[in-house]
A and B are shown apart, each in its own frame.
Chain A
Amino acid sequence: DVKVTQSSRYLVKRTGEKVFLECVQDMDHENMFWYRQDPGLGLRLIYFSYDVKMKEKGDIPEGYSVSREKKERFSLILESASTNQTSMYLCASSHRGNTIYFGEGSWLTVV
C-alpha cells in the first residue's frame, strides 16, 4: 500500500510564526505535491516537485516555500504565518504520470 505520511495533523500557530509541514512517502515516487483545501475553493496546488531539489510553483505559491532534500520527503514552509493561511494542507505523491496518492492532511489554524 502507498503510504504518504503527514506528521503534524493538527497545529495552532500564532501570526508571524514560521511553520513547517513535513511529508514523507514510502513508494519511491518522483513527484510530490502540496495542496491546500478550503470550503468552496476546492483543492489548490501550492508547489510541486518532480525530483530531489527540483520544485515548481503551483497556482497559489505566495507566502509559501518548499524543500525537497531527499526523494521521500517534501516540506512546506510558511515563512511568516498569517490568518488567511488557516486551512487544511494535503501532501500527495505519484509515480510519473500515474495516480496521485494523498496523505491524511494537516489542519493548520493561525491565530
Chain B
Amino acid sequence: QKEVEQNSGPLSVPEGAIASLNCTYSDRVSQSFFWYRQYSGKSPELIMSIYSNGDKEDGRFTAQLNKASQYVSLLIRDSQPSDSATYLCAVNLYAGSARQLTFGSGTQLTVLP
C-alpha cells in the first residue's frame, strides 16, 4: 500500500521559534509534494508545493525535499499563534493518474504565546 506518514503530534513550540514538520512517503517515483494547513473546523488550504530536491522558501515557510530519502519537511520560522493548525503533507503517489494526491494524517501544531 502506498503511504504518506507524518507524526501526528501534537507539536508545541513557543511563539517566535522554528516549527519543524516532517513527512515520509513510500514511492520513489513521486514527483509532486504539497503542504496544506487546516484550521479546526475548516477545510485544508494549500501553503506550499515543491517538486525538486532542495529548499523552497515562501515568506516564513520553507519546504525541504529529499527524494533519495523519500522525505519532505516544512519549516515555519518566527512561529505565530495564528500558525496553530493541523498541517497535512500530500504526495502524488500515482504519477499520471487523475487520482493525484495521497494525504498524511496530519501534524497538529500549537504555537504558545
List residues of chain A with CB under 8 Å of any chain B CB: 30-31, 33, 40-43, 45, 48-50, 56, 58, 90, 94, 96-97, 99-105
Contacts and interface: CB of A to CB of B under 8 A. Distances in A.
Q: Is the interface of A mostly helix, strand, loop or mixed?
A: strand
A100 B98 contact: no
Contacts, number: 49
B25 interface: no
Nearest to A32: B98
B94 to A, nearest CB: 10
A54 B99 CA distance: 12
Contact of A41 (B32, B43, B98, B105): B105
B43 A58 contact: no
A40 B43 contact: no
Contacts of A49: 98
A105 B43 contact: yes
